[in-house]
C-alpha cells in the first residue's frame, strides 16, 4: 500500500457510525536552507475498538524521496519521511476519513469492584494463561501490554507529588468506577486549562505545583495516578470535534490535536477518559495513537540538516463531519 | 572464603554524584559517556580481603605461577610447569625486564584504553571516571578539519607478561557451556523482539524486560537475515574455589575486547618468545575470519558482494584501539555516524564525490545513540534513518539495536527456566545468585539481607549504580530500602561468588590477583563459534575485589593449549595445515568500501601536518645551528643572517609575534628560549610540537588505515618531545640538535611508511595531496619571506649568501646547488632550484606535479545527483594557473627584485587558495544536524 494514496479501508462500520474527515497540516519555516529532512509522524489514526479508518494519506511538500508507513510497537500507524530537496519550508499534511461508533460506557456498572480488587486482578495476570476472561477481563486484552502500561515511563513518574495526589482519590475500599470518575473530575476541577504555560517537556512536578496546563499535562497526570494505583493506563492522542458557538460558522483550522487517558478496567477493558473536559470519550472523539506517554507518539518529530538556527511552526487542524 | 559478584558500574560509583552535575552541564555529550561503546569497563569481583561480609580469601597468595589458572589435564600442567620453569629461570629481575618490555611494546603499538584529559580542560574534574566527554566535540573538530580544539591523550593499555594457561579439556567444557548460553540468549532476544511468548507465558516476568532501559521498542520486529539475532556476545567468567566457572556478566550491546585480546597475544608472544614457541596453543586469528564471514552471512539477501563497515563513536571513544584493530583484523573500514547517510531507506558512506552503499553495519555505538530520529534526538554519533533502513531490511545492523536488553541482571534468575523452555536442557553455566525485586518473595529476601548483597538497578542508567550493602550505614540502607520498595521491578540484588586468582608480575614479585576471563562468541553457520582464548583481566591491586579496565586493571593473554600437543603424530597431514589458516578456503567476494569523506579528510591532514612537522624540523635545525655559532657575535654577517632568518621563521610558521613583534629585540639577542618554544610548545599553532600533536590526532582518526609500524614512529616523536620538555623543566641547558635529528629520523620514517607501506588507494592519494600541498606552501613561504622580506631592507651580499645557503639546507637542496653552481648562492639559482625545477623533489613545481597526479587518481567527479561537485573545476583551474605561472618565471623576472617579490607573493597566495579550494571541493560537510521536536502549540 502506498500511504500517499487514498487507501480503501479493510473494514466498514455499520451505517449508524459517525464519519469525520480530519485534516492536520504542519508547516515548518526556516530562516536558511535545509538540505535534508528526516521525519517520523504519528498523524494517521489507527484502527481501534469503535473506530474504523476509511482512508488516510500523508502529503509532504517538497515532494519526499521516501514516504513509508509501518506499524510501531504499540500498533499505531507511523510514517517515515525523507526529503533531500533543499527547502526552507516543509509542509506535512495528514488527511484521514474515520468512522466512529463507540458503545456507551457505564463506569458505575463495575462499582462492585473496589479499586484494590481491580488492581490485584491485573497483578495476577502473568501467572495465568494469555487471556484474561477467567478474571472478567475482555479477551482482547494482551497481558503483556497491560503490564507495559503499569510501569512508570519517561514522562510519567511516580515521584514529584504524584503519589500524594493519587492517594487523595484512591482511598481504601473505594469502588473502582467511582474512583476513576472522581480522578477525572478532580483534575478538571483543580487544574486550570491554560495554553502556553507548559510545553511538551514540562515535568509533572511543575504541572502539580502550577495547577495549570494543557490537555497532555492532564492526560499525563491522569495516567500517572492510575498507574500508581496499580491500574494499567495509557496516553492517547487524537482529536475532539469542536462546535462553534450557536449561530456562528465554524472557523477553518480552528480545531486542534487533543490528548487523554485510557485505563484498563475489569469487565469493561480499556476505557478512555478525558480529564481536560471531564467526560468519557465518545463519538465526538477521533483516536490517532496510544503509548506510554507523549514521547511514544508525538505527532511529528524530525532531524534536519541546516545552518538555520530558527524555525517557525504552524499547525492547523480541521475535524469535519462528512 | 572469598566472595565475588558480577557487579558492573562500580568504578563509576564515586564519580556519579559529580557525573550527574556534569551531565547537566555538558548535556548530551557528557551523558552519552555512560553508554559509550556499551563497554563494561567495570567488573566488580567482590569479597576477599577488601572486606566482603564473608571475609578472608579463597586462595593463598603466592601460589605457583599459573597454578591457579591452569588445572586439569596433563597438557596444562606441563605447560604450567614450563611457565613456572620460565618464571624461575627469569627470576624477579628477568620478570621485571619482561614487564618493562611489555609496556614498551604497548607504547610502540599505540595500544590505548580510555581517554584522559589534560588538566585545565573544561570538563576536567567534572568526570572522575576517566572516560571521554569530549569525543563528540573531537568529532566535530575533526569534521571542521582545520584545528582541533581538544587534545585528548588516551591512557596506555596495561598488560601483564605472564599468560594464563587453560588446557584443552577444560576449554572444551567452557566452549560448550558458553556456546549454549549464547544460544539461549539469542533465542530470548529473538522472542523479546518478536512474539514475546516468554513474557506472555510468564517464563520471564514482563516487567523485567519492559522496565529495562535497553528494551528498545523502536527495534521491535527488526530481524537479521539468517537464524541468529544475537550476532556477537562476550561472556565474562570467573572461577570459584571449587574450580567451576561462573558467569559474572553478559555483554551483548556492542561487545568490546576481541581486538585487545589479539593485541595481548601479539605482545606476549614477543615478550615470551621461547615459551610461546615451545607451547602448542590455539591461535586467535581464526576467530576474526569467522567474524568476517559471519558478517557476510547476515547481509541482506540482495547484496551480492556485501559491503561491511564498523560504526564507531569516534576516535575519542574509550575502546578506539579495540575498534580500529578489530577493523584491521576484519578488513572492514571504521566509519563514524557522520560518515553515513540514509537516502531513500538505504545506508551509504559519504565518500569523496559519491555515495557508497553499505550492507552490514557492525555497531559499536550504543543503540540509543545510533539514530537521532527515532532514539535519542541529541545524539551526534548516529545516523538519522538507520533504524528505518534496518526495518526495511536494506541494511543489517549487528548487534541488533535491542540486544542490550540481554545485559539486564534482572534476567539472570529466569535464564535457567528460559533455557529449559527454549532448548529443553539445563543451563550449563551458573551465574551469581540473583534476586529480582519485582518478585515479592525475592524482594523480601533482598530487603532482609540488604547488608550482605550487591544491590543494583536492572538498567545501567546514568546516575544509578551498584552498591555494596555491607558498606552502607543504617541510614543509607534504609534509604535504599525505600527506593527499592517505591519501584521494586527496577532493582535486583546478587550474592557474592568466590573467585580465584592469577599471578601478576609486580616490583615486589608475583602477586595473586582476582582473575576474570572474557570469552567471545559469534554467530556462524547457524551456531556459535568462540574465540579460542579470550581477554583476561585481573584486579589492579592484590586483594582487591575490583576488576576494571577503568581502575587500571592489567590484562592477561589467555593461552588455550592445542589438543594436537599430545597427538600430533596421529593427525593426518591434511588436518595440520589449516590450523590458524582458515583463509586458505575460497572466500566469497567482499565489497570494498572506499574511505569516507571524513577519513579522506583526516588522511589529507595527516599528510599536511606530517609534512609541516618535517619542514619545521628542517628549518629549526638550521636556525639552532646558526644560533649556536652567531648569537654571541653581534654585527657579524652571520649574526645578521641569523636575525633575518629568525624573523623569517616567525612568518613562515605564523607564530607571531615571535621574532617580529615589539619585544623581538630581546629574543633576537638570545633566540634560544623562543626556539625551544617553537619545538616543544604544543599550545601554539605553527610549532613543531603542534604539528606533531595534530599528526598523531589525525593518525588516531584513521587508525584502521595505517600500518601498525606507524605507532612505533609516532610514539618516538612524542618521546623525544617529552624528553626535551623534561630537560627544560629540569633547567638543563642542552642543544636542540640531537633531539631535532631524532625527530627528523622519525618524520622521515613516517614519510617512508607512507611511500613504501601503503597501498595506492583513494585514501593514499588524499594523504599525498596533503603532503604535496603543504610542502609547496612551506617552500613558497620560505622563499617569499627570505627573498622578498617585509622589512624591505636590501641585505648586504655576505648576509644574503648565508641566508640563501640556510634556505638551501632547509630545502634539502644544498648539495644539488653546489654541484650546479660555483661561488656563493644567488637568488636566481635558488629560485630556479626550489621554485621552478620540476626535477627537484623539494621544489614547488615538483609538488604541484605530484599533486596533479594525486588529483587524477581521485574518484570520478560526480555527485549523487550527477555532475561535478562545486569547487572541483575551480581547483583544477587554479592548479593549472599556478603551474603555468611557474613555467613562465624567467631569469629577467628573478633578477628584478621588485618583479621577484610580486611573483613569489603571487605564487604563495595562489597555492594557499588552491589548498583551500581543494578542501572545499572534496571535503563537503553535511550541514549541522538539528532536531525538530514534536508539535508544540497544543490546544485542548
Query: A121, A159, A85, A147: which is closest to A266 by C-alpha?
Result: A121
Q: Which residue of chain B comes nearest to A148, CA vs CA?
A: B210
Q: What residues 217-256 of chain A have any CB closer than 8 A to a CB of chain B? A: 240, 256
A107-281: which CATH topology?
A: C8orf32 fold (3.10.620)
* Residue-by-residue DSSP string for B98-121: HHHHHHHHHHHTT-EEEEEPPTT-
Mind telling me how many Å the CA of B427 is from chain A's nearest CA? 23
**pLDDT-derived band of residue A311, with 50, 70 and 90 as boundaries?**
confident
Q: How much is the pLDDT for B111?
A: 92
Residue found by looking up cell 613516517 in the block: B750
Q: Residue B210 and residue A214: Cβ atoms within 8 Å?
A: no
Contact assessment for residue B446 and residue B453, using Cβ atoms and an 8 Å cutoff: yes
Domain A18-101+298-321 identical in fold to domain A107-281 = no
Q: Residue B927 and residue A84: Cβ atoms within 8 Å?
A: no
- Alpha-carbon gap, residue B349 to B730, rounded angstroms: 50
End-to-end CA distance of chain A: 25
Residue found by looking up cell 480499556 in the block: A270
- Alpha-carbon gap, residue A306 to A191, rounded angstroms: 40
Q: Residue A313 and residue B938: Cβ atoms within 8 Å?
A: no
Query: In a mutagenesis test of the A interface, which of B371, B865, B940 is the best target, namely the one with the most A β-carbons within 10 Å?
Result: B940
Of the partner residues A68, A215, A308, the one whose CB lies closest to the CB of residue B938: A215
Of the partner residues B206, B929, B936, the one whose CB lies closest to the CB of residue A303: B929
CA distances from B611 to A287, B99, B743, B778 (A): 65, 35, 12, 9
Q: How much is the pLDDT for A7?
A: 41
Phi-psi region of A114 (alpha: psi -120 to 50; beta: other; left: phi over 0): beta
Helix, strand, coil percentages (3-state) for chain A, rounded to 5, are: 20, 40, 40
Q: Residue A65 and residue B344: Cβ atoms within 8 Å?
A: yes
Is B748 within 8 Å of chain A by CB? no
The pTM is what?
0.85
> How many beta carbons lie within 10 A of that of residue B874, not counting itself?
15
Residue found by looking up cell 475489569 in the block: A266
Three cell numbers written together for B186: 539469542
Mind telling me how many Å the CA of A252 is from chain B's nearest CA? 15
Look at B57 and A125; give whichever has higher pLDDT.
A125
Q: How much is the pLDDT for B788?
A: 74
For residue B37, the Cα-to-chain-centroid distance in whole angstroms is 11
Is B885 within 8 Å of chain A by CB? no
User: Angle of helix B320-330 relative to helix B258-271, nearest 10 degrees?
Assistant: 80
Q: Radius of gyration of chain B from Cα atoms? A: 31
For A72, the 3-state DSSP assignment is: coil
Q: What is the mean pLDDT of each run of 10 residues along chain B (940 residues)?
A: 31 26 28 29 32 34 36 56 83 94 92 59 28 29 30 77 93 96 98 93 92 96 96 94 89 96 96 90 94 96 92 88 94 93 96 89 96 94 97 97 96 97 96 94 96 91 70 94 92 87 92 94 96 94 73 90 55 35 43 78 95 97 94 93 94 92 89 94 94 93 88 92 92 89 96 92 94 96 84 80 94 93 89 93 96 87 54 81 87 81 90 88 85 50
> How many beta carbons lie within 10 A of that of residue B388, not counting itself?
26
Residue found by looking up cell 574465540 in the block: B531
Helix, strand, coil percentages (3-state) for chain B, rounded to 5, are: 50, 15, 35
CA distances from A75 to A45, A71, A235, A289, B547 (A): 11, 5, 14, 8, 44
- Alpha-carbon gap, residue B57 to B59, rounded angstroms: 6
CA distances from B30 to A23, B11, B19, B701 (A): 41, 17, 8, 20
Mind telling me how many Å the CA of A198 is from chain B's nearest CA? 10
Q: How much is the pLDDT for B921?
A: 84
Residue found by looking up cell 478538571 in the block: A188
Three cell numbers written together for B527: 551456531
Look at A15 and B741; give whichever has higher pLDDT.
B741
Mind telling me how many Å the CA of B747 is from chain A's nearest CA? 39
Is A301 within 8 Å of chain B by CB? yes
Contact assessment for residue B467 and residue B493, using Cβ atoms and an 8 Å cutoff: no
Q: How much is the pLDDT for B341?
A: 96
Q: Residue B217 and residue A296: Cβ atoms within 8 Å?
A: yes
Is B482 within 8 Å of chain A by CB? no
In chain A, where are the structural domains located? Answer: 18-101+298-321, 107-281
Contact assessment for residue B408 and residue B212, using Cβ atoms and an 8 Å cutoff: yes
Q: Residue B210 and residue A148: Cβ atoms within 8 Å?
A: yes
Is B575 within 8 Å of chain A by CB? no
B927 sits in which H/E element: none
Q: Which residue of chain B comes nearest to A218, CA vs CA?
A: B940
Is A18 within 8 Å of chain B by CB? no
B560 sits in which H/E element: strand B555-560
Query: In a mutagenesis test of the A interface, which of B932, B933, B936 is the best target, namely the one with the most A β-carbons within 10 Å?
Result: B932
Of the partner residues B201, B345, B940, the one whose CB lies closest to the CB of residue A214: B940
Q: Which residue of chain A comes nearest to B372, CA vs CA?
A: A303
Q: How much is the pLDDT for B899?
A: 85
Q: Which residues of A touch B928 (CB under 8 A)?
A: 305-307
So what's the ipTM on this one?
0.92
Q: Which residues of A touch B205 (CB under 8 A)?
A: 126
Mind telling me how many Å the CA of A265 is from chain B's nearest CA? 19
Number of H helices, E strands in chain A: 6, 14
Query: B726, B765, B760, B717: which is closest to B612 by C-alpha?
Result: B717
Q: How much is the pLDDT for B595?
A: 82
Contact assessment for residue B842 and residue B808, using Cβ atoms and an 8 Å cutoff: no
**pLDDT-derived band of residue A13, with 50, 70 and 90 as boundaries?**
low
Contact assessment for residue B421 and residue B441, using Cβ atoms and an 8 Å cutoff: no
Is B577 within 8 Å of chain A by CB? no
Average pLDDT over residues A272-295: 96
Three cell numbers written together for A280: 468519557
Strand B360-363 relative to strand B354-357: parallel, antiparallel, unpaired? unpaired
Q: Residue B932 and residue A300: Cβ atoms within 8 Å?
A: yes
Q: How much is the pLDDT for B201?
A: 86
Is the C-alpha dihedral spanning B249, B253, B257, B262 positive or negative?
A: positive
For A56, the 3-state DSSP assignment is: strand
Give the CA angle between residues A294, A295, A296 to the nearest 5°: 90
B374-377 contacts at long range (C-beta below 8 A, 24 or more positions apart): B374/A40, B374/B218, B375/B216, B375/B218, B375/B401, B376/B28, B376/B32, B377/A301, B377/A303, B377/B931, B377/B933
- Alpha-carbon gap, residue B250 to B236, rounded angstroms: 6
Contact assessment for residue A130 and residue A143, using Cβ atoms and an 8 Å cutoff: yes
Residue found by looking up cell 588524499 in the block: B766
For B833, which DSSP code? I
> How many beta carbons lie within 10 A of that of residue B430, not counting itself?
16
Name residues whose C-beta falls within 8 Å of residue B756's C-beta, 6 or more positions apart in sequence: none
Q: How much is the pLDDT for B262?
A: 97
Phi-psi region of B649 (alpha: psi -120 to 50; beta: other; left: phi over 0): alpha
Phi-psi region of B385 (alpha: psi -120 to 50; beta: other; left: phi over 0): left
End-to-end CA distance of chain B: 65
Q: Residue A39 and residue B374: Cβ atoms within 8 Å?
A: no
Task: Return the bridge partners of A286, or none.
Answer: A239
Is B731 within 8 Å of chain A by CB? no
A18-101+298-321: which CATH topology?
A: Immunoglobulin-like (2.60.40)
B704-708 contacts at long range (C-beta below 8 A, 24 or more positions apart): B704/B310, B704/B323, B704/B324, B704/B327, B704/B328, B704/B333, B704/B334, B705/B333, B705/B595, B705/B599, B705/B603, B705/B758, B705/B763, B706/B753, B706/B758, B707/B753, B707/B757, B707/B758, B708/B109, B708/B328
Amino acid at each position: 500500500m502506498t500511504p500517499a494514496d487514498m487507501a480503501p479501508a479493510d473494514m466498514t462500520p455499520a451505517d449508524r457510525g459517525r464519519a469525520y474527515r480530519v485534516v492536520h497540516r504542519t508547516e515548518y519555516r526556516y530562516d536558511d536552507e535545509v538540505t535534508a529532512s528526516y521525519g517520523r509522524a504519528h498523524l494517521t489514526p489507527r484502527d481501534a475498538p469503535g473506530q474504523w479508518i476509511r482512508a488516510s494519506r500523508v502529503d509532504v511538500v517538497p515532494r519526499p524521496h521516501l514516504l513509508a508507513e509501518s506499524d510501531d510497537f504499540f500498533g499505531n500507524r507511523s510514517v517515515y519521511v525523507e526529503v533531500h530537496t533543499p527547502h526552507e519550508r516543509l509542509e506535512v499534511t495528514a488527511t484521514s476519513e474515520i468512522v466512529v461508533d463507540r458503545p456507551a460506557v457505564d463506569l458505575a456498572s463495575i462499582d462492585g469492584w473496589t479499586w484494590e480488587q481491580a488492581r490485584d486482578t491485573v497483578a495476577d495476570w502473568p501467572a495465568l494463561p494469555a487471556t484474561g476472561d477467567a478474571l472478567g477481563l475482555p479477551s482482547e486484552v494482551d497481558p503483556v501490554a497491560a503490564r507495559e502500561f503499569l510501569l512508570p515511563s519517561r514522562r510519567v513518574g511516580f515521584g514529584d507529588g504524584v503519589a500524594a495526589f493519587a492517594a487523595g482519590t484512591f482511598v481504601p475500599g473505594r469502588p473502582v468506577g467511582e474512583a476513576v470518575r472522581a480522578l477525572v473530575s478532580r483534575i478538571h476541577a483543580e487544574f486550570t486549562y491554560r495554553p502556553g504555560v507548559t510545553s511538551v517537556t514540562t515535568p509533572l512536578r511543575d504541572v502539580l505545583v502550577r495547577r495549570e496546563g494543557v490537555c497532555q499535562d492532564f492526560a499525563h497526570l491522569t495516567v500517572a495516578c492510575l498507574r500508581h494505583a496499580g491500574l494499567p493506563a495509557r496516553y492517547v492522542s487524537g482529536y475532539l470535534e469542536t462546535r462553534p458557538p450557536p449561530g456562528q460558522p465554524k472557523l477553518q483550522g480552528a480545531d486542534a490535536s487533543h490528548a487523554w487517558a485510557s485505563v484498563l478496567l475489569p469487565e469493561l477493558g480499556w476505557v478512555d477518559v478525558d480529564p481536560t473536559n471531564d467526560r468519557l470519550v465518545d463519538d465526538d472523539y477521533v483516536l490517532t495513537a496510544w503509548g506510554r506517554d507523549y514521547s511514544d507518539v508525538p505527532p511529528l518529530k524530525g532531524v534536519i540538516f541546516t545552518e538555520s538556527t530558527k524555525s517557525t511552526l504552524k499547525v492547523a487542524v480541521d475535524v469535519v463531519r462528512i | 572464603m572469598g566472595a565475588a559478584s558480577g557487579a558492573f558500574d562500580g568504578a563509576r560509583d564515586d564519580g556519579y554524584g559529580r557525573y550527574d552535575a556534569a551531565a547537566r552541564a555538558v548535556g548530551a555529550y557528557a551523558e552519552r559517556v555512560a553508554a559509550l561503546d556499551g563497554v563494561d569497563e567495570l567488573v566488580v569481583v567482590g569479597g576477599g580481603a577488601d572486606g566482603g561480609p564473608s571475609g578472608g580469601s579463597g586462595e593463598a597468595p603466592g601460589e605457583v605461577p599459573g597454578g591457579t589458572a591452569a588445572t586439569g589435564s596433563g597438557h596444562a600442567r606441563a605447560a604450567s610447569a614450563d611457565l613456572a620453569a620460565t618464571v624461575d629461570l627469569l627470576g624477579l629481575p628477568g620478570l621485571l625486564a619482561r614487564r618493562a618490555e611489555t609496556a614498551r611494546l604497548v607504547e610502540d603499538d599505540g595500544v590505548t584504553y580510555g581517554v584522559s584529559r589534560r588538566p585545565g580542560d573544561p570538563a576536567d574534574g567534572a568526570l572522575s571516571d576517566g572516560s571521554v566527554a569530549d569525543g563528540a566535540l573531537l568529532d566535530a573538530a575533526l569534521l571542521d578539519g582545520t584545528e582541533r580544539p581538544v587534545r585528548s591523550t588516551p591512557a596506555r593499555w596495561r598488560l601483564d607478561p605472564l599468560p594464563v594457561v587453560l588446557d584443552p579439556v577444560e576449554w572444551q567444557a567452557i566452549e560448550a557451556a558458553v556456546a549454549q548460553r549464547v544460544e539461549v540468549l539469542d533465542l530470548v532476544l529473538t522472542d523479546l523482539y518478536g512474539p514475546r511468548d516468554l513474557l506472555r507465558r510468564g517464563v520471564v516476568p514482563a516487567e523485567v524486560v519492559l522496565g529495562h532501559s535497553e528494551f528498545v521498542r523502536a527495534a521491535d520486529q527488526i530481524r537479521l537475515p539468517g537464524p541468529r539475532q544475537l550476532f556477537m556476545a562476550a561472556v565474562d567468567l570467573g572461577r570459584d574455589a571449587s574450580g567451576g566457572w561462573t558467569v559474572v556478566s553478559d555483554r551483548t550491546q556492542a561487545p568490546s575486547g576481541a581486538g585487545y585480546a589479539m593485541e595481548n597475544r601479539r605482545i606476549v608472544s614477543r615478550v615470551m618468545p621461547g615459551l610461546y614457541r615451545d607451547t602448542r596453543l590455539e591461535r586467535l586469528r581464526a576467530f576474526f575470519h569467522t567474524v568476517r564471514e559471519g558478517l557476510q552471512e547476515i547481509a541482506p539477501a540482495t547484496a551480492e558482494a556485501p559491503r561491511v563497515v564498523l560504526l564507531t563513536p569516534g576516535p575519542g571513544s574509550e575502546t578506539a584501539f579495540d575498534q580500529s584493530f578489530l577493523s584491521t583484523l576484519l578488513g572492514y573500514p571504521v566509519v563514524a555516524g557522520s560518515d553515513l547517510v540514509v537516502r531513500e531507506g538505504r545506508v551509504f558512506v559519504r565518500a569523496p564525490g559519491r555515495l557508497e552503499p553499505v550492507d552490514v553495519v557492525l555497531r559499536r555505538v550504543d543503540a540509543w545513540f545510533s539514530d537521532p530520529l527515532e532514539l535519542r534526538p541529541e545524539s551526534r554519533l548516529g545516523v538519522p534513518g538507520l533504524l528505518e533502513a534496518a526495518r526495511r531490511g536494506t541494511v543489517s545492523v549487528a548487534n541488533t539495536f535491542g540486544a542490550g536488553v540481554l545485559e539486564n541482571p534482572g534476567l539472570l534468575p529466569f535464564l535457567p527456566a528460559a533455557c529449559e523452555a527454549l532448548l529443553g536442557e539445563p543451563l550449563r553455566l551458573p551465574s551469581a545468585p540473583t534476586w529480582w525485586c519485582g518478585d515479592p518473595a525475592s524482594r523480601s529476601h533482598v530487603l532482609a539481607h540488604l547488608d550482605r548483597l550487591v544491590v543494583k538497578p536492572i538498567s545501567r542508567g546514568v546516575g544509578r549504580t551498584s552498591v555494596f550493602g555491607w558498606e552502607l550505614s543504617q541510614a543509607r540502607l534504609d534509604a535504599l530500602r525505600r527506593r527499592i520498595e517505591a519501584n521494586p521491578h527496577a532493582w535486583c540484588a546478587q550474592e557474592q561468588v568466590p573467585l580465584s586468582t592469577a599471578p601478576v608480575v609486580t616490583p615486589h614479585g608475583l602477586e595473586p590477583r582476582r582473575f576474570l576471563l572474557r570469552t567471545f562468541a559469534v554467530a556462524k553457520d547457524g551456531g556459535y563459534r568462540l574465540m579460542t582464548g579470550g581477554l583476561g583481566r585481573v584486579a589492579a591491586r592484590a586483594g582487591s575485589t575490583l576488576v576494571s579496565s577503568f581502575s587500571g586493571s592489567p590484562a592477561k593473554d589467555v593461552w588455550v593449549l592445542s589438543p594436537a600437543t599430545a597427538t600430533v603424530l596421529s593427525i593426518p597431514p591434511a588436518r595440520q595445515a589449516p590450523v590458524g589458516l582458515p583463509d586458505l578456503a575460497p572466500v566469497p567476494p567482499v565489497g570494498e568500501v572506499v574511505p569516507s569523506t571524513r577519513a579522506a579528510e583526516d588522511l589529507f591532514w595527516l599528510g599536511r601536518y606530517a609534512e609541516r612537522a618535517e619542514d619545521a624540523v628542517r628549518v629549526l635545525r638550521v636556525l639552532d645551528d646558526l644560533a649556536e655559532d652567531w648569537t654571541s657575535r653581534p654585527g657579524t654577517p652571520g649574526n645578521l643572517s641569523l636575525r633575518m632568518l629568525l624573523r623569517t621563521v616567525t612568518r613562515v610558521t605564523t607564530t607571531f609575534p615571535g621574532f617580529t613583534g615589539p619585544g623581538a629585540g630581546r629574543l633576537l639577542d638570545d633566540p634560544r628560549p623562543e626556539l625551544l618554544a617553537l619545538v616543544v610548545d604544543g599550545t601554539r599553532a605553527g610549532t613543531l610540537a603542534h604539528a606533531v600533536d595534530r599528526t598523531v590526532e589525525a593518525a588516531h582518526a584513521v587508525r584502521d588505515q595505517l600500518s601498525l609500524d606507524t605507532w612505533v614512529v609516532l610514539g618516538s616523536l612524542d618521546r623525544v618531545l617529552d624528553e626535551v620538555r623534561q630537560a627544560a623543566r629540569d633547567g638543563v641547558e642542552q642543544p636542540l640538535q640531537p633531539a631535532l635529528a631524532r625527530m627528523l629520523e622519525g618524520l622521515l620514517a613516517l614519510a617512508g611508511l607512507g611511500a613504501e607501506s601503503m597501498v595506492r588507494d583513494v585514501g593514499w592519494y588524499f594523504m599525498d595531496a596533503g603532503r604535496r600541498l603543504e610542502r609547496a606552501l612551506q617552500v613558497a613561504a620560505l622563499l617569499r619571506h627570505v627573498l622578498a622580506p617585509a622589512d624591505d631592507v636590501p641585505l648586504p651580499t655576505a648576509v644574503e649568501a648565508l641566508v640563501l645557503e640556510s634556505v638551501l639546507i632547509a630545502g634539502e637542496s644544498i648539495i644539488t646547488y653546489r654541484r650546479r653552481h660555483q661561488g656563493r648562492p644567488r637568488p636566481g639559482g635558488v629560485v630556479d632550484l626550489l621554485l621552478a625545477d620540476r626535477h627537484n623533489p623539494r621544489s614547488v613545481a615538483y609538488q604541484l606535479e605530484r599533486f596533479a597526479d594525486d588529483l587524477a587518481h581521485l574518484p570520478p567527479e560526480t555527485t549523487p545527483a550527477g555532475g561535478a561537485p562545486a569547487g572541483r573545476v575551480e581547483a583544477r583551474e587554479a592548479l593549472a594557473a599556478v603551474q603555468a605561472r611557474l613555467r613562465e618565471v624567467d631569469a629577467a623576472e628573478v633578477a628584478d627584485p621588485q618583479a621577484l617579490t610580486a611573483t613569489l607573493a603571487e605564487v604563495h597566495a595562489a597555492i594557499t587558495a588552491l589548498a583551500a579550494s581543494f578542501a572545499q571541493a572534496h571535503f563537503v560537510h553535511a550541514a549541522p544536524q538539528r532536531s525538530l521536536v514534536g508539535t508544540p502549540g497544543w490546544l485542548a
